[in-house]
Structure 1
């Protein structure tokens, strides 16, 4: 009886330990749909309840939700001007299928809450972004306006200038990989992730473009330059946009 009690206690403690490890693992990989930033496009105006624009918006949002998000991307337009609704949605390169669908539902709810009655707006989460607009931009046009940087407030120890240069070189290498054709010839990869030892630091990084732009490498190179302006020597940093994004950390944050 005595030994059974301690065996039970041991199993309970082991179970709690496993749960804690699982939570820490999920947290370190940022696998939750954590909110990052939003921007309401006030210049595009607002719509009235029951208007044609609201009907088109609801139709497009519901229509996209029926997809299985196998490639993690949707660019859809619906309606005639001046009530045309254009939506661009993309998940992080490692978050397809049900994970992507979950982030889409979160993004739609977040957009409706944070940009109430706005015809246009952008909302970013750890695993996806959603852009709603009255304007259907051609794939040759990069969106350099709707971007924002984030960085870890802590800096690395050592030569920050050398670290910054190595980070840039690493991200440029990933940009070249993302701009290469797929093995099946169906298009470009538009996503690359990797890890590398930079001195004493092991760095994890990823780059990604939306699947409909023509100049992925150009967009990524611009984002890498913006990253070097805002974030020097930081332990982690990223630049998000609606055409492409780049990120690096000193811990793993994407699924393999």
Structure 2
């Protein structure tokens, strides 16, 4: 994977990815808080307690949120695993995410990290139930399709349909699907929201992400918009565990 550190649209990061399997390395992270906490402080103790809570709470269902401590040392957080990830792999991902955030955002009061299998976010600000539009990045396949216009239309049609399904008929706020492009090629898609969002806010978040398709993934064989509250991915090969 090759990532550019230029951020031309606010908090957005643009990445390129080839048709290769993504391992256990983080996709990206933001140390979004400008505030630091000190070692052995009440905030650090509350953060550690929150992470312990998420290790236990998240794997059985794939999602969990919580708060520990009282102001001004309260820590709020959530973790989400991809809808097809097993409980064991979910727990491993959440544990790895917390360790990596500690390395990459030491002493920061707010941070978020994404892996292929999960995301983890914590902050001294109570963000639970609110759409996060600030922490977002793009990824796309370096290969382009031969007929961009009909392909782009199919991608938007698939993802828009999945957005409706995830936000209206799935308690996980998660949906996957596929459509035929031709006799030998299928298009595969996935959408997901964090489960602290209401169904209307989930759809609002996903539709907003899908509206970024021309900016991130025009004519690309695969692409993602990944954020703090929702994400989508599409490819011309299967990428979801059955």
The residue number in structure 1 matching 2:105 is 115
The residue number in structure 1 matching 2:75 is 85
Instruction: Output the CA distance in 2 between the equivalents of 1:138 and 1:129.
Output: 14
Larger Rg, first or second structure (1 or 2): 1
The residue number in structure 2 matching 1:40 is 31
The residue number in structure 2 matching 1:8 is none
SS in 1 for 2:57: coil
1:135-192 residue CA offsets vs partner (Å, 9 max, x unmatched)? 11252x31111111110111112x202211110011011111112235xxxxx34000
Out of 208, 212, 227, which is 1:241 matched to?
227
TM-score with structure 2 setting the length: 0.86
Out of 154, 167, 174, which is 1:191 matched to?
174
SS in 2 for 1:46: coil
How far does residue 68 in structure 1 lie from its aligned partner after superposition? Answer: 6.2
The residue number in structure 2 matching 1:222 is 208
Asked if 2 retains the 8 angstrom alpha-carbon contact of 1:28 and 1:253, the reply is: no
Write the mapping of 1:17-28 to structure 2, written as runs, cut at 5 A.
none
The residue number in structure 1 matching 2:126 is 136
SS in 1 for 2:219: coil
Pick the structure with more strand per residue. Answer: 2
SS in 1 for 2:72: coil
The residue number in structure 2 matching 1:51 is 41
Question: Which has the larger displacement, 196-205 or 115-124?
Answer: 196-205
SS in 1 for 2:168: coil
How far does residue 254 in structure 1 lie from its aligned partner after superposition? Answer: 0.9
SS in 1 for 2:108: coil
1:220-244 residue CA offsets vs partner (Å, 9 max, x unmatched)? 1001011232210111100111111
Write the mapping of 1:64-103 to structure 2, written as runs, cut at 5 A.
64-67=54-57, 69-103=59-93
1:82-104 residue CA offsets vs partner (Å, 9 max, x unmatched)? 11101110001111311100101
Asked if 2 retains the 8 angstrom alpha-carbon contact of 1:168 and 1:228, the reply is: no
The alignment's C-alpha RMSD in Å is 1.7
Structure 1 segments (4+ residues) deviating >3 Å: 27-30
Asked if 2 retains the 8 angstrom alpha-carbon contact of 1:180 and 1:189, the reply is: no
Q: Structure 1, unaligned stretches of length 5 or more?
A: 1-26, 183-187
TM-score with structure 1 setting the length: 0.82
The residue number in structure 2 matching 1:153 is 142
The residue number in structure 1 matching 2:117 is 127
Pick the structure with more helix per residue. Answer: 1
Instruction: Output the CA distance in 1 between the equivalents of 2:78 and 2:128.
Output: 12
| Residue correspondences, number | 221
Asked if 1 retains the 8 angstrom alpha-carbon contact of 2:32 and 2:111, the reply is: yes
The residue number in structure 2 matching 1:254 is 240
